[in-house]
Amino acid sequence: MFDHFAFVAPIYDKIIRFLNIEKLKQLLELPIDGRLLDAGGGTGRVSSQLKPWVDGVVVSDLSRSMLKQAGNKRDLLPVQAHAEKLPFADESFERVLVVDALHHFCDQEQALADLLRVLKPGGKLVIEEPDINQFIVKILIAVEKLLLLRSRFLSPEQIADIMKAKGFSARIESDGGIISWITVGKEL
């Protein structure tokens, strides 16, 4: 499959700067004794910042080029995998994170199901996505279409509804701008 991210991988961390690490720490309830899976984690741009607050970080992604960058960062374990078919046992991770990647996944329902599968009871799944309710995000969607990215954006409410249909309740938060977070806690 054609890898759009191969071209930008070497400069990705330089051009994509947005990161609200304090918010992610709060939503993920860090620090914890346990491992974090950063699914669609690319270069590890985000999870490399969360490393001090967890025991270990696995970055899974489809793109070899993005993962090569993740492998250059200390203490990140890169794993090439579809988010829809993660090569991990059930209940492997205390925390699971997806930043700016859900809209790239081919089968989002299947990916969400698999992310929940690998999450331990008592664990948290946090998804960060651009909020398509915001006008500026509609422009971003048009740009991604022009770049022939096969993105499919869901609203925070649609993501929460998918979770609900799977028996999980989700909390939606927004930064008041273009970013939304959907958080799911897996009961013990």
Ligand X SMILES: C[S@@+](CC[C@H](N)C(=O)[O-])C[C@H]1O[C@@H](n2cnc3c(N)ncnc32)[C@H](O)[C@@H]1O
Q: Which listed range, 25-33, 96-104, 115-123, 161-169, lies at the site for ligand X (CB under 6 A)?
A: 96-104
Give the SS3 label for residue 92.
coil
Question: Residue 127: in which H helix or E strand, if any?
Answer: strand 119-130
40 binds ligand X (CB under 6 A): yes
Asked if residues 81 and 62 have their Cβ atoms less than 8 Å apart, the reply is yes
Torsion of CA 60, 113, 107, 41, to 10 degrees: -20
Residue from the set 35, 82, 95, 124 that interacts with ligand X by CB under 6 A: 82
Residue from the set 83, 119, 125, 170 that interacts with ligand X by CB under 6 A: 83
Asked if residues 107 and 150 have their Cβ atoms less than 8 Å apart, the reply is no
Provide the 10 A C-beta neighbour count for residue 145: 11
100 binds ligand X (CB under 6 A): yes
Contacts of residue 136, Cβ cutoff 8 Å, sequence gap at least 6: 178
Can you say whether the dihedral through the CA atoms of 152, 115, 64, 156 is positive or negative?
positive
What distance lies between CA 14 and its chain's CA centroid? 19
Phi and psi, residue 126, nearest 5°:
-120, 130
Residue from the set 24, 36, 58, 66 that interacts with ligand X by CB under 6 A: 66
Q: Site size for ligand X, by CB under 6 A?
A: 20
Instruction: Output the smallest distance, CB 101 to ligand X, in A.
Output: 4
114 binds ligand X (CB under 6 A): no
101 binds ligand X (CB under 6 A): yes
Instruction: Output the smallest distance, CB 52 to ligand X, in A.
Output: 18
Interaction residues for ligand X, span 161-180 (CB under 6 A): none
Nearer to ligand X (CB atom), residue 82 or residue 95: 82
86 binds ligand X (CB under 6 A): no
Q: What whole-number distance in Å separates Cα of residue 54 and Cα of residue 63?
A: 24
130 binds ligand X (CB under 6 A): no
88 binds ligand X (CB under 6 A): no
Residues that bind ligand X (CB under 6 A): 5, 16, 40-42, 45-46, 61-63, 66, 82-84, 99-101, 104-106
